[in-house]
Structure 1
Amino acid sequence: MNRIKQAFKDRLWLGVIIVGLFAGLIGGGIALGINNLVQHHEEVTSKRVPAGSNKSGGTKVNKNKADLNGEASQAYKSVQGAVVSVINKQKVQQSSGTLGIFGYGNSSNGSSDSSSDNKLETASEGSGVIYKKSGNSAYVVTNNHVVKGSNALQVILSNGKKVNADLVGADSATDLAVLKINAANVKTVASFGNSNSIVPGQDVLAIGSPMGSEYANTVTKGIISAKDRTLKAGTDGTLTSVIQTDAAINSGNSGGPLINVAGQVIGINSMKLASDTQGSSVEGIGFAIPSNEVVTIINQLIKNGKIIRPSLGISMVDLSNVTSDQQQSVLKLPTSVSKGVVIMDVNSGSVADTAGLKKYDVITKLGDTQITDAGSLKAALYKYKVGQNAKVTYYRDGQQHTATLHLTKSADTTSTDDSQQDNN
């Protein structure tokens, strides 16, 4: 009997436990479902566009907390008035008559009509900066390639006024040119800073007319990426030292100033690297002619209208363009000599002739500068002035020799740029 009672109690408690568990599960499920419903409602509500509208507005413009008179802004304002657009105008031949099967002809009888009108049209646009005002004249420095081939030149001042300009002089080797304009409307003149004192990382601004005068006085900011890059410049491939910057420089910026945050011109923007050897797009690599060189060149252009430089009076080819067989059989060079320039002709009475240089001599050094090609020879030679002496190292029939060049002869910047032969 006791066993029966105990079994009944055990079953009773087991039932209670089962009922409790079951009730808990049901309650939890209900709670979970309610919670999910609440979350779903909140999610739907948060995504729904509220009804009605706020017709009163209420948004306002707050006071500008940025420094509107920082270094960069002050620098730009101090130079902006001196920056100009340079318009290169060239003749465009236009034939009269109607277009026939064989070209332009007279519509009445079909015969050719040779009459034509030469009109000046804008061929290209660039930038420049006014750096000097003297009496009624003002002077603008720009790039040689901006004014090259022009039949007429115009300058658009910062106030939008357009004036005619005369070409005072140009130098292809450094890609610089000087223009003269009427100073009546010139209010601001830029000054040059010492480009030898710049350092990589310092802030700079480039000002000009990228893509033409429509965007005149555009300013971009960057840093000095490198102080002294060596590149081939001008039409004769002369090596020159330039400033590298990541300030945006585009077509039309050429000839405009690169300035420091004090508003001083430390370079004249000249070119940008468009792509690498793999054809990839390149950004943030622009170059400017250092101000110290700019001042030297423009002073000579004002004085002489051209740059007078020493001339050796030779024609030459790069040694790298001569086959290894010819280097051995004709030039008889030792295998240790792989770079230099080969003299192909010597002008009678020239500096080279007076020094005893001859055809097939291989120049490897001028002064303390190693000569690797025609560009490096010109760069080394142009460091000298007419009247100075320079020591030249060369090879003849496999033997090294030295001679002293008396740089008594001069030449202007015009030179031949040819893949096979170069003159100097």
Structure 2
Amino acid sequence: MRNDDDRRENFDEKYRRRTHALDEHDTVQFEKIDDDDLKDDVKDEHVDEREAPSHDDFREEHEVQKEDAPKPRTKREKSSFLPGLLAGIIGAILVVSLYHFLSNDSNNADEVVNNTKDTAEVRQEIESKHEDKLITDTIVAVEKAKPAVVSVINLQSQTNLFGNESSLAEAGTGSGVIYKTDDEYAYVITNNHVIDKATEVQVNTSEGDSVEAEILGTDIWTDLAVLRMPKGNITDVIEFGDSDKLLVGEEAIAIGSPLGDMFSGSVSRGIVSALDRRVPVDIDGNGTDDWEAAVLQTDAAINPGNSGGALVNSKGELIGINSMKIGLENVEGIGFAIPSNDVKAIVSELETGGEVDRPFIGVGLLDLYLISTSDQRNYLKLPSNVKQGVVLSSIEPGSPAEHAGLEELAVVTKLDDTEVNNAMEFRQYLYGNKKSGDTITVTYYLDGRQYETDVQL
């Protein structure tokens, strides 16, 4: 059997170079692929129907990356959504999360110290300093949450003309949130893409201190990362709100470092515009949606560099992680944030294990629609009534898939009793409904016949 640690390391290395397309200002751009262009691209990949290729030739033409891999730090590069989806989505893909631990782990000798003031205490402090001002709930919320929001700087070694590595230089910037402290350290959540390929990570606090931080864990699918840095004189951490209790129309306040550390601590305000939006994401930049993010929608202004910053409510509680925005020329005020309750579970796993434990099946995936109808009939031997599914482009040696008898070029149509129409739905079902050690029933077609097998993950 394949060692899970080896698997995760290989996946991490593979995807560390590929993910959200970002420039030095932490901006992501997705571009629409016209239907005609997609057809041309797919047609070019297919072989001449008059010359039937061998099994190996077909597999090589449609080779894709291995499935099962949740742990990357990825390269900033241009990516795109599938045809027919939103064009020109420019994400300041930001995600910030804070996990408020109220008790100490019995196995941890360090005492967890979380200093959070209630809104009444904060209001009293502000009013004592500004007796001539009307202190609103928004002012109190910002004053409560802002000290826990930091700037995160991605520093990378630069190569000179002679091929030698020179001193570190800033490769990207984002935001982060302090969610916990103990006797020695302060813990920060930021985006995975903010610290991608970093040689060193620097955190600038609201007090003006610059501190080197270490990366404790990252997750490509949620674009989250956890950092740890010396506590120093840090006392403030953010408080989590309950994102499951949010209502459309509630106040939403974004805090972060738009356009970099120069504008650190910037605040914008809006409302919660919608709940449970589903936004497709192309993680590896191949023009195919790999994942579907479940997010909140807000009209609070979000800009490049806000990545990893906080979205808080009128009580100064974290309700979401700013994650994306639609940046079309004629579109304003459509931003997205990862709900705080979703962030909590990810943060705890990243902090303690360095990654999110997801089930491993050991297959490469290719959407069936990318293969021409003639190839589906001639080489995959699919019945004419099978129009949606996922092609297994590769089976990893020693994997659960191999032990269960799955073969390359099998076309999966169902996982358990749930139909899967594409690779994204395959991953969503696998990661959302299963854990390591579970058994999953796979329904598939191979050489014109339908089969069913149980795979122990």
* TM-score between both structures, scaled by the size of structure 2: 0.66
Deviation (angstroms), 1:137: 0.4
Instruction: Identify which of structures 1 and 2 has the higher relative contact order when contacts are C-alpha pairs closer than 8 Å and 6+ apart.
Output: 2
**Cα contact 1:174–1:234 (8 A) shared by 2:** no
Which residue does the alignment assign to 2:157? 91
Which residue does the alignment assign to 2:420? 371
Match of 1:252 among 305, 323, 332: 305
Q: How does 1:211-226 map to 2 (within 5 A)?
A: 211-226=259-274
Which residue does the alignment assign to 1:46? none
**Aligned partner letter, 1:284:** G
Give CA deviations for 1:51-98 in whole Å, capped at 9, x if unaligned. Answer: xxxxxxxxxxxxx99973222222111111100000111112234xxx
1:130 aligns with 2:178: yes
1:197 aligns with 2:245: yes
CA RMSD for the aligned pairs?
2.2
1:69 aligns with 2:135: yes
Three-state SS of the structure 1 residue aligned to 2:240 is: coil
**Aligned partner letter, 1:170:** T
Deviation (angstroms), 1:164: 1.1
Match of 1:161 among 201, 209, 224: 209
Three-state SS of the structure 1 residue aligned to 2:320 is: strand
**Cα contact 1:170–1:306 (8 A) shared by 2:** yes
Which residue does the alignment assign to 1:388? 438
1:334 aligns with 2:353: no
Q: 1:224 to 1:349 in 2, by over 3 A?
A: same
In the aligned structure 2, how far is the partner of 1:192 from the partner of 1:233? 26
Give CA deviations for 1:78-129 in whole Å, capped at 9, x if unaligned. Answer: 111100000111112234xxxxxxxxxxxxxxxxxx4745111111110000
Q: 1:65 to 1:322 in 2, by over 3 A?
A: farther
Q: 1:200 to 1:214 in 2, by over 3 A?
A: same
Which residue does the alignment assign to 1:82? 148
Q: 1:370 to 1:66 in 2, by over 3 A?
A: farther
Which residue does the alignment assign to 1:264? 317
In the aligned structure 2, how far is the partner of 1:399 from the partner of 1:225? 48
In the aligned structure 1, how far is the partner of 2:220 from the partner of 2:158? 24
**Cα contact 1:174–1:233 (8 A) shared by 2:** no
**Cα contact 1:173–1:234 (8 A) shared by 2:** no
Give structure 2 stretches of 5+ with no counterpart.
1-129, 285-289
Which residue does the alignment assign to 1:350? 399
Which residue does the alignment assign to 2:235? 187
**Aligned partner letter, 2:316:** G
**Aligned partner letter, 2:146:** Q
Deviation (angstroms), 1:140: 0.2
In the aligned structure 2, how far is the partner of 1:65 from the partner of 1:368? 64
Which residue does the alignment assign to 1:32? none
In the aligned structure 2, how far is the partner of 1:87 from the partner of 1:126? 7
Match of 1:318 among 351, 364, 367: 367
Which residue does the alignment assign to 1:417? none
Three-state SS of the structure 2 residue aligned to 1:75 is: helix
Q: 1:324 to 1:66 in 2, by over 3 A?
A: farther
Which residue does the alignment assign to 1:34? none
Deviation (angstroms), 1:377: 1.4
**Cα contact 2:157–2:165 (8 A) shared by 1:** no
Q: 1:369 to 1:269 in 2, by over 3 A?
A: farther
**Cα contact 1:173–1:233 (8 A) shared by 2:** no
Give structure 1 stretches of 5+ with no counterpart.
1-63, 96-113, 408-424
Three-state SS of the structure 1 residue aligned to 2:412 is: strand
In the aligned structure 1, how far is the partner of 2:353 from the partner of 2:137? 38
Deviation (angstroms), 1:204: 0.9
Three-state SS of the structure 1 residue aligned to 2:134 is: coil
Give CA deviations for 1:219-239 in whole Å, capped at 9, x if unaligned. Answer: 111122221122234734322
In the aligned structure 1, how far is the partner of 2:309 from the partner of 2:170? 19
Deviation (angstroms), 1:262: 2.0
**Aligned partner letter, 1:291:** S
Three-state SS of the structure 1 residue aligned to 2:222 is: coil
1:405 aligns with 2:455: yes
**Aligned partner letter, 2:445:** Y
In the aligned structure 1, how far is the partner of 2:243 from the partner of 2:453? 35
Three-state SS of the structure 2 residue aligned to 1:81 is: helix
Percent of paired sites with the same residue: 43
In the aligned structure 2, how far is the partner of 1:352 from the partner of 1:266? 39
Three-state SS of the structure 1 residue aligned to 2:428 is: helix
**Cα contact 1:200–1:226 (8 A) shared by 2:** yes
Q: 1:115 to 1:386 in 2, by over 3 A?
A: closer
Q: 1:335 to 1:66 in 2, by over 3 A?
A: farther
In the aligned structure 1, how far is the partner of 2:153 from the partner of 2:417? 42
Give CA deviations for 1:166-208 in whole Å, capped at 9, x if unaligned. Answer: 1111111110000111112212101222222223222211110
In the aligned structure 2, how far is the partner of 1:72 from the partner of 1:355? 57
Three-state SS of the structure 2 residue aligned to 1:320 is: helix
Give CA deviations for 1:279-303 in whole Å, capped at 9, x if unaligned. Answer: x443211121222221111111111
**Aligned partner letter, 2:243:** S
Q: 1:252 to 1:335 in 2, by over 3 A?
A: same
Deviation (angstroms), 1:316: 2.0
Give CA deviations for 1:360-417 in whole Å, capped at 9, x if unaligned. Answer: 221223245432222221122112211122233323344444332211xxxxxxxxxx
* TM-score between both structures, scaled by the size of structure 1: 0.71
**Cα contact 1:239–1:378 (8 A) shared by 2:** no
Which residue does the alignment assign to 2:295? 242
Larger radius of gyration: 1
Give CA deviations for 1:21-74 in whole Å, capped at 9, x if unaligned. Answer: xxxxxxxxxxxxxxxxxxxxxxxxxxxxxxxxxxxxxxxxxxx99973222222
